[in-house]
Amino acid sequence: MTDNRLYYDDAYTNRFTATVVERTMVDGCPAVVLDQTYFYPTSGGQPHDTGRLDACLVVDVLTRDADDAVLHVLDAWPDEVTVSAEIDWPRRFDHMQQHTGQHILSRAFVQLADANTIGFHLSPDSVTIDLDIPHLSSEQLDAVETLSNQIVWDNRPITASFMSKSDALQLALRKVPDVDGDTLRIVEIAGFDWNACGGTHVAHTGEVGLIKIVKLDRQRGNLRVEFCCGQRALLDYRAKNGVVNQISAELTCGYWEIGSNLTKMRTELQAARKTIKQQQATLLQYEADQLHATGEEMESATVIARVFTERDSAEIRNLANQISRKPGTIVLFAVYAPATALIFARSKDVDGDMADLLQRVLHQLGDGKGGGSSTFAQGSTNALYNGKQPPAALSAALAAAKEQLRQ
């Protein structure tokens, strides 16, 4: 039923009248077959068109495997047999720009880098081709991009025609398609590219507007090239230019100075972080000495118990480790905020099982989890204890832990 696919010969008609020749269902949705259609069904990496049949939205267009009929999936049944159809033109033209740009770019990769396109994907967010090579230099990419845009600026005519496979093989096809039948639709960019394709394309390369490579990814030994054409390229440039201007304003420099300024800032930040880390270590050691000096002397050890608020648990864990390196020391720390934590530690010359003590405290609190070793243990709890406020509950829990140590 390919003879009723009018988009093959005319990709620009977006309003037409057609007759419903079949009504069916697709995944529970109404669907119709028309006697003729300009709606493009999803195929070859290009998404389907959308639009309307009378007041009904066309939400999907696909090809039925059994007879190659084009199914127009709708949000409701049309009332009439003869329908007025309208294709979403901005979406259609965007697809025409991107798909034509892909043909140009793919030929340029063959011509300048001996890289063949083995995959093509067009979505609302990105357009990509997969190349059968793992790497390209920046010089090769620039050359491919320059040639591609030169073809756009040449405004070369683009034609599509059906021909026998034997005739098509006489052309410099980029790829010989593996398809059934003896007829191929060949899209020709005058004097530059010949490719078997069933998609929609612009009539002249100048309508592509601009071709811009924006990203590279490696995919299982192949190279994935993301690019954009036409309006997508304009919107991409507009967004990135806005970001560049904002950064330039923040750094009070020209856009050409952004790279060197960021390198300088990164170096300064690394140096500052190193200095802060050294200062924090010094302060932590000072705090450890101060806390140890205020510890409670028990029969077998000095016990330091403290509830901290607005302190990072990792920092308090380091503080506990520093203090517990001192001989004859037991540390019982609790952190209330921003995250509640219990941290118990002892020096190696002191008897006691910190993991067991932690579990007893968690049981007393009635909530929490944790574990560790005989010398170091940590856990977390909601610290709801006998209706008291959480800091008071943690203080009471540490007092209970000290009492168990006395016993």
230 and 98 part of one domain? yes
Is 287 domain-assigned?
no
141 and 217 part of one domain? yes
Is 279 domain-assigned?
no
Instruction: Report the alpha-carbon distance of residue 139 to residue 108 in Å, rounded.
Output: 14
99 and 243 part of one domain? yes
Burial class of residue 236 (count of CB atoms within 10 Å of its CB; 0-12, 13-18, 19+)? middle
- State residue 2's pLDDT score: 52
User: Do the Cβ atoms of 341 and 379 come closer than 8 Å?
Assistant: yes
72 and 136 part of one domain? no
Among residues 185, 216, 247, the one where a domain terminates is 247
The CATH number of whichever domain residue 48 belongs to comes to 2.40.30.130
Is 119 domain-assigned?
yes
Is 258 domain-assigned?
no
Among residues 69, 87, 105, the one where a domain terminates is 87
29 and 115 part of one domain? no
75 and 109 part of one domain? no
What are all long-range contacts of 260-269, with beta carbons under 8 Å and residues at least 24 apart? Answer: none
340 and 308 part of one domain? yes
Is 252 domain-assigned?
no
Please give the tally of structural domains in the chain.
3
- State residue 230's pLDDT score: 96
> Under 8 Å CB-to-CB from 99, ≥6 apart: which residues?
46, 122, 197, 199, 200, 201
Helices vs. strands in the chain: H and E counts, helices first: 8, 19
Sign (positive/negative) of CA torsion 112, 116, 117, 119? Answer: negative
Domain of 115, in residue numbers: 93-247
- State residue 388's pLDDT score: 52
pTM of the model: 0.76
Among residues 247, 262, 282, the one where a domain terminates is 247
- State residue 385's pLDDT score: 46
Q: What is the mean pLDDT of each run of 10 residues along the chain (407 residues)?
A: 83 96 95 96 94 96 93 96 97 97 97 95 93 95 97 98 90 82 92 94 97 93 96 96 95 93 95 94 90 88 90 90 92 84 92 90 80 91 56 82 83
The CATH number of whichever domain residue 340 belongs to comes to 3.10.310.40
Is 270 domain-assigned?
no
